Amino acid sequence: MNLLLLEPQEVTAEGCVTLADRRHHHLRTVLNSAPGDTLKVGMLGGNIGSATLKETTPERSILSDLVCTRPPPAKLPLTLILALPRPKAARRICRTAAELGIEKLILLNSYRVEKSYWQSPLVQTERIASYFLEGLEQAGDTVLPELIVENRFKPFVEDRLPALLEGKRALLAHPYGDAIPTEAITEPTVLAVGPEGGFIPYEVEKLLLAGMQTMSLGERILRVESAVPTLLAKLFP
């Protein structure tokens, strides 16, 4: 946690904030903060800045002198379409995506996504939002990525994807695709990443029909967890 995220309604008229949740525990047990310490804070959806730890007891911590005037780091102009990962991997992948600064995440069904994954409590929207928060706290960002859940492949790809791709660069990560574009992409981009094992040929065909173009990371086949940061780093150097 490199940034303590606060919500606007937590701030009193005097600019104080009382914490009693995991942020309070983090201050005490990980940061070992003492009264008088300056803390890096951010307003959820807003600016970043600092606050002073005024008082801390086992029950609560009180921050004062809250000043948030600097904008958070810029986002990557990227919508990531991701086949729903294994629930246990979803936390890390969603956290990493927020950490790296994506704007929007679309979780999509695919033939190789086990049906049971959709029922897991670990991939419900509130949980995904908590993974995003962890990523923002790590990266020093304040703005949650937008989350869209599409649990049916065909209606999404046929009815909604073409409009989403309009005016954007649209890439499908695929082991047997073209080489990765060598010029840096600064234009808004949509990137689709399949499940472990990849999208099946029918799905690839549908995604290409909707306007996507395949790209490959080369000879090595990477886990989704390694592929996402690698793709983002190569696309936005």
Q: Is the Cβ of residue 55 or residue 114 nearer to a copy of itself in the bound state?
A: 114
| Of positions 26, 65, 112, 140, contacts a copy of itself by CB under 8 A | 140
Confirm if 145 and 104 have CB atoms less than 8 A apart.
Answer: yes
Contacting range for a copy of itself; rule: CB under 8 A; set: 125-133, 164-172, 204-212, 220-228: 220-228
* Strand-pair partners of 193: 82, 173
CB of 197 to a copy of itself, least distance (A): 9
* Residue 223 within binding range of a copy of itself, rule CB under 8 A: yes
Question: Where are the alpha helices (H) located in 157-237, listed in sequence order?
Answer: 161-165, 201-209, 224-235
> In terms of C-beta density within 10 A (0-12 exposed, 13-18 middle, 19 or more buried), how is residue 225 classed?
middle
- Find the binder of a copy of itself among 5, 100, 173, 215 (CB under 8 A): 100
Give CA–CA dist 82/94, Å, rounded.
10
Residue choice 19, 43, 99, 207 for contact with a copy of itself (CB under 8 A): 99
DSSP lists the bridge partners of residue 18 as 62
- Binding residues for a copy of itself (CB under 8 A): 2, 73-74, 92, 96, 99-101, 138-141, 182, 218-223, 225-226, 229-234, 237
